[in-house]
């Protein structure tokens, strides 16, 4: 069959240009007829002869040129196919359904599938599915394992309308593309990346929490032996991971080790904490450690800074634990033991003097606690008001919502009793008066999101934090003064101590002492939990200032609806794993359901066999969880996993985007996980 083969494009124009030259010669010849007819005739004959020669040469050479082009293209295609077939990168051509159309030798070598294998690529690489191939034009790189080798899969689509301009091949609209798949071997690359990451150095700081207290509990002749045994435990533990340990102070150590060993230490949950506690040479008090680990991809200085942040966080959470700070991620280990109350009041005296100096240099003081203020938060704020009033400074307390338990206390500070009309303000009113000369003081919380007005923290550069809760990953940034003591029973206890050193002639009104005393009473559950010598000393100081137990008891009485609601919570409690009481408090006709929930959680601990209690209430679009325990279960660790926190025996959390039943299941799953991990023993 005769084929009409034409040369197009630049190649066709290049071969035809001698024919086009004839037109130019004719155009030049026409004017010659006006000058010399004979000469013009000779030129015309030459042009005709030239045209005939070029014309017949073109048609004579055209098949030769086309034949040579076809031979070149054939050879070029053969070379391309050979190169592609022998390409060191595994190469696969897939149809729109993901079936193999063609593979090169390298792909066959690593998968064992040759050119006759036309099944779906999913049968070889399960992560490359038909849906993935048809979904997008651009693909994310897909990591896979074939045998012991690691590969990165790259997929690209080839559309026919982009390569077949003359429409030689016609396909349905749904089949207008093929997919090319490349496999890049990254085994060595990942190995060296891991090797480089493993060789990075990690910095750590180790502090003995109770150095002085432990030595005081042992005979003088055995003190050096106790310290030597602790040193040996620390050096032996870290020498197993090829670490460098140096003692920088009598109770502080600096340690450096390779990143590859960090996972090993995390897997055994830093058992050094328990090993050091087992050191007994007649000491009544067990030695506890706090460890801060700094891990980052930055400089060694940054690693050390992270280690310092981690150790500060460990100490702020009460010690006896490990904090690992890797960039923004923070992990906690340990922290199961009860915080040891420090008998010395040096720290309270130093903080009192620092607070006095700060109030002296400011014209205005704004105090705020956590949202939905409780008695401890309110009492601490009143204590700060007393200190500011003694210094002649204006002080205001931020309260957005007054609960039923708080209302009797707040009513004591009215204008009729001689207090300013603007003593209590809302968040909006506080934001209007705050300026550069204002001191913002946060009490009973150290989380900015939990405060009554988080925006106040960004409006003032002078911030003071007084709290007795363990610190978490969310902290108030750059406070000028921070006094966080997890061993304290309440913030009111801390404030009562500070007031004793604030000034020799400071005097509290009876109602002010009542309010601070009430905060201690509530947080200690009538002096039954978290009480120490300093707790009773603070209560004694307030009693000397005029606090009256009977008067406080009247202020803290419940109404009948709250009492009945608390009884209903206890009545409907469910016991999980024979040790955990879980119940719900429904806010129907209750003004302060969160307070009732906390009281009910305390009541549930009076039941035999209950080791921890959890009471949930739906309030303001969130599920509030109040958790309590006596001594065997650390509810603070449970609540931290739910995004909350607190103390070993008293903790809580706020859960969003769930209902009470879902929250119950979350608590049960958390308990199950912690039992499996050995964090909880029942």
Same domain, 307 and 326: yes
Supply the CATH number for residue 182's domain. Answer: 3.30.450.20
Same domain, 475 and 358: yes
How far apart are the C-alpha atoms of 512 and 493, rounded to whole Å?
14
pLDDT number for residue 519: 93
How far apart are the C-alpha atoms of 88 and 603, rounded to whole Å?
73
Same domain, 224 and 269: yes
Query: Contact 351/463 with Cβ under 8 angstroms?
Result: no
pLDDT number for residue 343: 54
Same domain, 375 and 487: yes
Query: Contact 321/206 with Cβ under 8 angstroms?
Result: no
pLDDT number for residue 171: 42
Q: Is residue 1 part of a domain?
A: no
Q: Is residue 533 part of a domain?
A: yes
- Out of 48-57, 165-174, 616-625, the most confident range is 616-625
Q: Where residue 91 falls among pLDDT bands split at 50, 70, 90? A: confident
Residue 170 has pLDDT above 60, yes or no: no
Q: Is residue 341 part of a domain?
A: no
Same domain, 513 and 391: yes
For residue 331 the two structure tokens come to 């992990």
Which of 217, 329, 233, 315 lies closest to 273 in space, CA to CA?
233
pLDDT number for residue 626: 93
Residue 71 has pLDDT above 80, yes or no: no
Residue 642 has pLDDT above 60, yes or no: yes
Q: Is residue 682 part of a domain?
A: no
Count the alpha carbons within 13 Å of 422 in the hemisphere toward its beta carbon: 10
pLDDT number for residue 293: 94
Supply the CATH number for residue 260's domain. Answer: 3.30.70.270
Q: Is residue 339 part of a domain?
A: no
How far apart are the C-alpha atoms of 495 and 499, rounded to whole Å?
6
Residue 156, beta-bridge partner list = 180
**Helices in 361-509 by DSSP H: which ranges?**
375-390, 407-410, 427-433, 455-459, 491-502
Name which of 21-35, 393-407, 547-561 the model is least confident about.
21-35
Supply the CATH number for residue 603's domain. Answer: 3.10.310.30
- Residue in the block written with tokens 């093929």: 178
Same domain, 528 and 480: yes
Supply the CATH number for residue 519's domain. Answer: 3.90.1640.10
Same domain, 399 and 528: yes
Residue with the larger pLDDT of the pair 527 and 135: 527
Residue with the larger pLDDT of the pair 479 and 171: 479
Residue 559 has pLDDT above 50, yes or no: yes
Query: Contact 564/586 with Cβ under 8 angstroms?
Result: no
Tally of domains in the chain: 5
pLDDT number for residue 3: 47
Reported as a single tens digit per residue, the pLDDT across 504-529 is 888 899 999 999 999 999 888 888 87
Count the alpha carbons within 13 Å of 3 in the hemisphere toward its beta carbon: 5
How far apart are the C-alpha atoms of 67 and 528, rounded to whole Å?
104
**318 Cβ contact list (under 8 Å, min separation 6):** 335, 339, 470, 486, 487
How far apart are the C-alpha atoms of 268 and 293, rounded to whole Å?
15
How far apart are the C-alpha atoms of 612 and 577, rounded to whole Å?
11
Same domain, 231 and 315: yes
How far apart are the C-alpha atoms of 552 and 511, rounded to whole Å?
9
Same domain, 61 and 117: no
Last residue of a domain, one of 193, 218, 236: 193
How far apart are the C-alpha atoms of 277 and 171, rounded to whole Å?
77
Segments forming the whole domain that contains residue 28: 9-84
Q: Where residue 536 falls among pLDDT bands split at 50, 70, 90? A: very high
- Helix, coil or strand: residue 566: helix
Long-range contacts of 480-484 (CB under 8 A, 24+ apart): 480/358, 481/351, 481/354, 481/355, 481/358, 482/446, 483/347, 483/351, 484/316, 484/446
Q: Is residue 592 part of a domain?
A: yes
Residue with the larger pLDDT of the pair 87 and 162: 87
Same domain, 417 and 527: yes
Q: Where residue 341 falls among pLDDT bands split at 50, 70, 90? A: low
Same domain, 374 and 445: yes
For residue 277 the two structure tokens come to 């506690």
pLDDT number for residue 668: 94
pLDDT number for residue 68: 67
Residue 139 has pLDDT above 80, yes or no: no
Mean pLDDT of 236-264: 92
Residue 35 has pLDDT above 70, yes or no: yes
Last residue of a domain, one of 555, 575, 593: 555
Reported as a single tens digit per residue, the pLDDT across 405-450 is 888 999 999 999 999 999 999 999 999 999 888 999 999 998 898 8
Residue 5 has pLDDT above 70, yes or no: no
Long-range contacts of 10-13 (CB under 8 A, 24+ apart): 11/69
Q: Is residue 2 part of a domain?
A: no
pLDDT number for residue 650: 84
Residue 174 has pLDDT above 70, yes or no: no
The pLDDT mean for the chain works out to 85
Same domain, 57 and 111: no
Name which of 57-61, 286-290, 648-652 the model is least confident about.
57-61
- β pairing state of 364-368 and 394-398: parallel
Last residue of a domain, one of 532, 555, 578: 555
Q: Is residue 147 part of a domain?
A: yes
Mean pLDDT of 620-632: 88
């Amino acid at each position: 069959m005769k084929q009409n083969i034409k040369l197009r494009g630049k190649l066709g124009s290049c071969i035809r240009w001698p024919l086009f030259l004839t037109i130019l010669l004719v155009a030049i010849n026409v004017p010659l007829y006006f000058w010399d007819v004979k000469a013009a005739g000779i030129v015309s004959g030459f042009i005709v002869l030239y045209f005939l020669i070029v014309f017949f040469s073109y048609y004579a050479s055209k098949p030769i040129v086309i034949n040579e082009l076809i031979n070149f293209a054939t050879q070029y295609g053969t070379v391309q196919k050979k190169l592609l077939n022998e390409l060191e990168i595994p190469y696969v051509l897939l149809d729109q359904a993901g079936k193999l159309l063609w593979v090169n030798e390298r792909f066959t070598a690593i998968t064992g599938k040759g050119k006759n294998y036309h099944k779906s690529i999913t049968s070889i690489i399960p992560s490359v599915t038909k849906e993935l191939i048809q979904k997008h034009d651009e693909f994310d790189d897909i990591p896979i394992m074939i045998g012991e080798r690691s590969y990165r899969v790259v997929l690209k689509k080839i559309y026919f309308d982009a390569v077949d301009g003359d429409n030689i091949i016609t396909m349905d609209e749904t089949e207008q593309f093929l997919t090319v798949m490349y496999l890049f071997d990254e085994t060595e690359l990942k190995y060296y990346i891991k090797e480089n990451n493993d060789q990075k150095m990690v910095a750590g700081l180790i502090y003995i929490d109770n150095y002085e207290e432990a030595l005081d509990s042992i005979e003088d002749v055995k003190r050096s032996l106790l310290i030597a045994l602790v040193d040996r435990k620390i050096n032996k533990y870290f020498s197993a991971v090829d670490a460098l340990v140096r003692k920088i102070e009598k109770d502080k150590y600096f340690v450096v080790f390779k990143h590859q060993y960090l996972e090993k230490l995390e897997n055994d949950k830093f058992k050094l904490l328990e090993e050091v506690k087992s050191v007994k040479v007649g000491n009544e008090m067990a030695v506890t450690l706090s460890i801060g680990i700094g891990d980052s991809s930055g400089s060694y200085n940054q690693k050390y800074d992270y280690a310092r942040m981690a150790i500060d966080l460990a100490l702020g959470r009460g010690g006896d634990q490990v904090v690992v700070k890797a960039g923004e991620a923070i992990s906690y280990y340990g922290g199961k033991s009860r915080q040891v109350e420090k008998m010395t009041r040096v720290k309270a005296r130093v903080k009192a003097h620092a607070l006095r100096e700060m109030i002296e240099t400011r014209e205005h003081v704004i105090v705020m606690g956590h949202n939905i203020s409780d008695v401890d938060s309110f009492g601490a704020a009143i204590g700060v008001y007393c200190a500011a009033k003694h210094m002649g400074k204006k002080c205001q307390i931020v309260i957005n919502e007054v609960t039923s338990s708080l209302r009797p206390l707040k009513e004591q500070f009215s204008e009729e009793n001689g207090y300013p009309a603007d003593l209590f303000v809302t968040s909006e009113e506080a934001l209007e008066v705050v300026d550069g000369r204002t001191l913002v003081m946060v009490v009973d919380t150290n989380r900015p999101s939990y405060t009554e007005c988080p925006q106040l923290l960004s409006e003032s550069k002078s911030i003071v934090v007084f709290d007795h809760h363990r610190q978490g990953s969310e902290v108030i940034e750059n406070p000028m003064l921070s006094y966080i003591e997890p061993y304290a029973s309440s913030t009111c206890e801390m404030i009562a101590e500070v007031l004793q050193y604030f000034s020799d002639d400071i005097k509290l009104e009876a109602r002010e002492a009542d309010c601070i005393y009430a905060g201690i009473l509530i947080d200690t559950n009538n002096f039954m939990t978290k009480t120490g010598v300093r707790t009773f000393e603070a209560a004694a100081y307030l009693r000397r200032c005029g606090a009256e137990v009977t008067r406080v008891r009247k202020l803290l009485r419940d109404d009948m609806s709250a009492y009945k609601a608390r009884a209903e919570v206890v009545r409907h409690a469910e016991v999980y794993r024979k040790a955990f009481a879980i119940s719900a408090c429904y806010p129907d006709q209750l003004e302060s359901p969160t307070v009732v929930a906390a009281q009910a959680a305390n009541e549930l601990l009076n039941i035999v066999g209950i080791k921890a209690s959890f009471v949930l209430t739906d309030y303001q679009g969130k599920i509030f969880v109040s958790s309590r325990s006596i001594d065997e279960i650390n509810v603070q660790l449970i609540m931290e996993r739910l995004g909350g926190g607190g103390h070993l025996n008293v903790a809580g959390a706020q859960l969003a985007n769930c209902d009470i039943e879902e929250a119950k299941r979350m608590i049960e799953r958390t308990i199950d996980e912690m039992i499996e991990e050995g964090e909880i023993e029942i």
